[in-house]
């Protein structure tokens, strides 16, 4: 079983802020000692640049840096370290695929398919690529509760579709897309699929091989790792046919004034000095998560979410966006509205009570427009959150509703 | 609710939030000034006509937090029927009071004073000045 009180002890932020109720885990997670100390130790003991020095220290750093690829590969079920590209985050990974993979293959009249619930990061890059090529960006609509209109998905796929890019778990509602079915169907039309796993890797077992997904992206900072590091997984058949997006040092085999040849993937996508300490930190973050059984994590977060929802339902005038049926799988996210209080006022008041939640459109403005909402307040949980915190949160909501009555 | 919060959501703000002044949509107005805060999605429109250098038939509509809505309501309570110069002065004095750097020397009316607490809340001063900033921009363009 997950023991949040025990887990909290490995997060220095809670020792330093004993009153903090951190319910903004969908935005970013807190960092455990192993990550913070690991990065610190690395800088103190092993640091140098990589792939360059001939001295021992450089060799050690390079080896540690490259070893994290294996760790990531195992973590998400990728066949090899060659499939693991270091990026600066989810956003950078999507941009890399949009501009280095899709753009050269896209022609006027083609279509790119996304869902109406995408984070701006999984919308704008495709929009820009489509605009530059005269292609059309199509969106699979959602239902009133934020779930995917599966029937529409089928009818939107056709032989003009050149890419499908979908979020695994919606950061705005917690809705989980049926990615396996979607990938299978897309592949029937020979459409490559990118899955945005920013919200899923921390809690769900990911097996890119079993999913047969073409590209999978996530950010280190949402899985207890540092900021500025992320992962792009790509199938070898795709990565090997992609040109670099950024040019410079660290990606070349041979440079002449007339012509440069590039290294094989993944290195050809990592120009310049990368976020070395970020990679090391991500490695420790994966060690941290690997202590836990993902199914136990899901079980616990489901319990916490259901507990929170059942208490929130006691509050008159509170509406929860999305599915509240506890039989449905859902991410550890509760997006909600108080009928008399704007989400920003909710977040400000909760903030004074040391309860951190997010308010606004959650970088999903088109989804909010479709749902005709100005935004929502969002509580999102992680394994260090406790039922006791939920009680305080719900009590605070009650008093807010009371105050604005 | 703690004191700091009560200070922020003073009666003035709650009252204006619940019963906003001149809160009507008027898409046929001569002038429509839209204020939008991309960070939180607050969106208000100011509607008015200009006649003999005066703002008339002023109203507002839209959606936003209690602070942005109330501050816009306070704005409306001042501007209708006023000359552009008077409106400009009111806008400047409100924005001065909300400006962190600005030392407040003038005597402040209660309805303006209510918003000063927003300064001490992260990210909330912008809510108080959202429509005021936009109106100021509009006025400066009009002068040119
Ligand atoms: C679903 C989803 N996609 C993409 C992103 C962007 O991630 P990052 O800002 O780390 O690149 C986020 C994070 O806000 C997200 O929740």
* Residue-wise pLDDT tens digits, B11-31: 889 899 989 999 999 999 999
CA distance A58 to A245: 26
CATH for the B3-137 domain, from 3.60.21.10, 1.10.287.3240, 3.90.1010.10, 3.90.1410.10: 3.90.1010.10
Task: Please give the mean pLDDT across all residues of chain B.
Answer: 90
Residue A341 to chain B, least CA–CA distance (Å): 7
Task: Tell me, in angstroms, the distance from the centre of ligand 1 to residue B122's CA.
Answer: 23
Q: What confidence score (pLDDT) does residue A369 get?
A: 86
Closest CA to B24 of B10, B41, B44: B44
Pairing of strands A215-219, B54-63: unpaired
A352 vs B2, B39, B63: nearest CB: B2
Estimate the crossing angle of helix A387-403 against helix A294-312, to 10 degrees.
Answer: 30
pTM, whole model, 2 decimals?
0.92
Query: Where in chain A do CATH 3.40.640.10 domains reside?
Result: 35-289
How confident is the model at residue A228, as a pLDDT?
98
CATH no., domain A35-289: 3.40.640.10
Q: Which atom of ligand 1 is nearest to the CA of A219?
A: 10
**ipTM value > 0.85:** no
User: pLDDT tens, A85-137?
Assistant: 999 999 999 999 999 999 999 999 999 999 999 999 999 999 999 999 999 99
User: Smallest Cα–Cα separation from A214: which of A184, A238, A230, A185?
Assistant: A238
Q: CA dihedral defined by A400, A403, A404, A405, rounded to 10 degrees?
A: 110
Average pLDDT (A309-334) is 88
**pLDDT tens digits for range A160-169:** 999 999 999 9
Q: DSSP string spanning B2-38? A: -HHHHHHT-HHHHHHHHS-TTB---TTSSEEEEEEET
Spelled out in words, what is the top-level CATH class assigned to the domain A4-23+293-403? alpha beta
Please answer whether residues A325 and A313 qualify as being in contact, where contact means their C-beta atoms are separated by less than 8 angstroms. Answer: no
Other CB atoms within 10 Å distance of the CB of residue A158:
11
Q: How far apart are CA B136 and CA B144, in angstroms?
A: 13
Q: Is B21 on the interface with A (CB under 8 A)?
A: no
Ligand 1 in contact with A199 (CB < 6 A)?
yes
Q: Are A148 and A115 in contact (CB under 8 A)?
A: yes
Distances (CA, A) of B96 to B92, B99, B113: 6, 5, 12
CATH 3.90.1150.10 residue ranges of chain A are 4-23+293-403
Of A345, A352, A403, Cβ closest to residue B65: A345
* % residues pLDDT > 90 (chain A): 86
Is the confidence at residue A327, as pLDDT, over 70?
no
The answer to whether the peptide bond before residue B140 is cis (omega within 30 degrees of 0) is no
Q: What is the mean pLDDT of chain A?
A: 95
Per-residue pLDDT, A41: 96
Cα–Cα distance for residue pair B60/A141, rounded to 1 Å: 32
pLDDT at position B12: 87
pLDDT at A324: 77
Annotated active-site residue A308? The verdict is no
Contact: B66, A342; criterion CB under 8 Å: yes
């Amino acid at each position: 079983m997950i023991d949040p009180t025990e887990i909290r002890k490995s997060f220095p932020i809670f020792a330093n802020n004993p009153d903090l109720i951190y319910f903004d885990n969908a935005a970013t997670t807190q960092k455990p000692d192993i990550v913070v100390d690991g990065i610190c130790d690395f800088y103190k003991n092993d640091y140098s640049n990589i792939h360059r020095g001939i001295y021992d220290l450089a060799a050690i750093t390079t080896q540690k840096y490259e070893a994290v690829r294996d760790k990531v590969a195992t973590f998400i079920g990728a066949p090899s370290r060659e499939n693991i590209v270091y990026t600066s985050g989810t956003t950078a990974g999507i941009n890399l695929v949009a501009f280095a993979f899709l753009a050269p293959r896209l022609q006027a009249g083609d279509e790119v398919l996304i869902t109406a619930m995408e984070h701006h990061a999984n919308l704008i890059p495709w929009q820009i690529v489509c605009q530059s090529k005269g292609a059309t960006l199509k969106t699979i609509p959602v239902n009133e509760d934020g779930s995917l209109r599966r029937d529409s998905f089928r009818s939107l796929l056709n032989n003009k579709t050149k890419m499908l890019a979908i979020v695994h778990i919606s950061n705005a509602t917690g809705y989980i897309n049926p990615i396996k079915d979607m990938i299978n169907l897309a592949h029937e039309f020979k459409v490559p699929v990118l899955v945005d796993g920013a919200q899923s890797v921390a809690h769900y077992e990911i097996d890119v091989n079993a999913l047969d997904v073409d590209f999978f992206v996530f950010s280190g900072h949402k899985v207890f790792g540092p900021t500025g590091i992320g992962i792009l997984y790509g199938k070898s058949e795709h990565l090997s046919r992609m040109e670099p997006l950024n040019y410079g040092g660290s990606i070349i085999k041979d440079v002449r004034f007339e012509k440069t040849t590039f290294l094989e993937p993944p290195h050809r996508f990592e120009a310049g000095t990368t976020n070395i300490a970020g990679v090391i930190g991500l490695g420790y973050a994966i060690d941290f998560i690997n202590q836990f059984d993902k199914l136990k994590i899901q079980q616990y977060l489901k319990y916490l979410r259901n507990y929170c929802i059942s208490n929130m339902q006691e509050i008159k005038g509170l509406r929860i966006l999305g599915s509240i049926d506890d039989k449905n799988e859902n991410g550890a996210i509760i997006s909600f509205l108080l009928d008399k209080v704007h989400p920003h006022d909710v977040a400000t008041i909760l903030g004074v009570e040391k309860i951190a939640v997010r308010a606004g459109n959650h970088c999903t403005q088109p989804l909010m427009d479709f749902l005709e909402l100005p935004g929502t307040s969002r509580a999102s949980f992680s394994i260090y959150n406790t039922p006791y915190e939920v009680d305080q949160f719900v009590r605070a909501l009650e008093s807010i509703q009371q105050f604005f009555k | 609710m703690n004191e700091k919060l009560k200070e922020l959501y003073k009666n003035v703000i709650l009252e204006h939030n619940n019963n906003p002044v001149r809160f009507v949509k008027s898409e046929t107005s001569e002038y429509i000034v839209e204020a939008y805060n991309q960070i939180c999605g607050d969106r208000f429109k100011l509607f008015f006509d200009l006649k003999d250098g005066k703002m008339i038939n002023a109203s507002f509509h839209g959606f936003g937090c209690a602070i942005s809505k109330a501050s816009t309501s306070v704005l409306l309570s001042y501007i209708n029927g006023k000359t552009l110069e008077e409106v400009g002065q009111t806008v400047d004095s409100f924005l001065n009071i909300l400006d962190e750097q600005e030392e407040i020397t003038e005597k402040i009316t209660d309805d303006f004073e209510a918003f000063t607490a927003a300064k001490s809340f992260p990210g909330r001063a912008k809510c108080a000045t959202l429509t005021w900033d936009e109106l100021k921009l509009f006025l400066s363009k009009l002068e040119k």
